[in-house]
Amino acid sequence: MNSKYRYAVIVAGGSGSRMATEIPKQFLLLNGLPVLMHTITKFSQCGCEAIIVVLPPSQIKYWKELCDQYRFSIGHEVVEGGNTRFDSVKNGLLSIKIREGLVAIHDGVRPCVNLSIIEDGYQHAQKEGCAIAAVRPKDSLRLQQQDGSTVSVDRDKYHCVQTPQIFYTNEIIKVYEQTTTNHFTDDAAVYESAGFKVSLYEGDYRNIKITTPEDLLLAAILLNS
């Protein structure tokens, strides 16, 4: 398949509920810039043909004001999100003009993604058809039973899934167009539901998703390092 083109769909539809703030977490300041700007910058350094940022309609005006305020000039297209993450990703994918090459789907609130993780993902997807960043769990795991009890499970059999999740553009768009349910937690699950094999590659423990105030503090340290 042709992998000449590289795209990135960055989904940023979060709120500030678990951050105990009225400002959506993707707009919170991190080392002097909104979180989402750090994320976009990382993908701009990886030769992307186009960067598509998916935002709730109610947040688009505010985002444009932030871009003006911080003189953020990295080129990107803003697309309106939907009611669910599935709908938002679908809207972002359908905005791609040339359905060739590879597309990375990434959480807007994962600003600490390493450039090598992005590049490794594109390379892995080119060979294997897709690339899902994942790491092994560090903690012991227990599985909850129906009676309320728990049993120990082998953590070596499990992976903690991250983003980016990278696919051939034409394949993942076709999957999203043909899928009728939207109750998926990530893009790998959507891809798998269409009969495709999911291929993992080594992620990074530093590639955290900002969800709580503690995550924001940790992200600041990670970016400085």
- Dihedral angle sign, alpha carbons of residues 117, 182, 109, 91: positive
Say yes or no to pLDDT of 17 above 80. no
155 and 139 Cβ atoms separated by less than 8 Å: yes
Per-residue confidence at 188, pLDDT binned at 50, 70, 90? very high
Average pLDDT over residues 202-225: 95
Residue 34: the pLDDT is 98
Mean pLDDT across the chain: 94
Residue 3: the pLDDT is 66
Distance CA 218, CA 23 (A): 19
Residue 47: the pLDDT is 87
Residue 92: the pLDDT is 97
Residue 21: the pLDDT is 74
Residue 119: the pLDDT is 97
Distance CA 171, CA 99 (A): 9
Residue 18: the pLDDT is 63
Average pLDDT over residues 144-153: 93
CATH of domain 6-224: 3.90.550.10
Q: How many CA atoms lie within 13 A of 58 on its CB side?
A: 7
Span 111-124, pLDDT tens digits: 999 999 999 999 99
Residue 200: the pLDDT is 98
- CA 46 from chain centre, in angstroms, equals 15
The pTM is what? Answer: 0.94
Average pLDDT over residues 24-30: 96
